[in-house]
Amino acid sequence: MEVGSCAYDGAAEKENGGFAVLQGTNPDGTGIYMDNKVPVIREKEQADYVETQVNVLKNTGIDGTYIYVFAFPILP
């Protein structure tokens, strides 16, 4: 079972599609983002969303879970 979201403001509402805001990269290595809106990092939002999901699952008999995009070195 995989749970979580990316770590930026508004990512939790996008759920597992949150990575799609990155449309590509410029020649200088900066990101090209959907609607030209650069995401604002919100690790607390990610942590709260993971906590909510784990709490929903804790009584379902699932023995473990993976945290979605906990670390993704090519997308710092």
Tokens of 76: 């710092």
27, part of any domain = yes
Number of domains the chain contains: 1
Q: What is the pLDDT of residue 28?
A: 92
41, part of any domain = yes
74, part of any domain = no
Cβ atoms of residues 21 and 13 within 8 Å = no
Cβ atoms of residues 7 and 50 within 8 Å = no
Other CB atoms within 10 A of residue 63 CB: 5
Q: What is the pLDDT of residue 27?
A: 93
76, part of any domain = no
Tens digit of pLDDT per residue, the chain (76 long)? 778 878 888 888 887 777 788 888 899 988 899 889 888 888 898 889 889 988 998 888 888 888 876 566 665 5
Q: What is the pLDDT of residue 14?
A: 80
pTM over 0.75: no
With 0-12 / 13-18 / 19 or more C-beta atoms within 10 angstroms meaning exposed / middle / buried, residue 49 is buried
Q: How many residues does the chain have?
A: 76
20, part of any domain = yes
Parent domain of 31: 2-67
Q: What is the pLDDT of residue 18?
A: 78
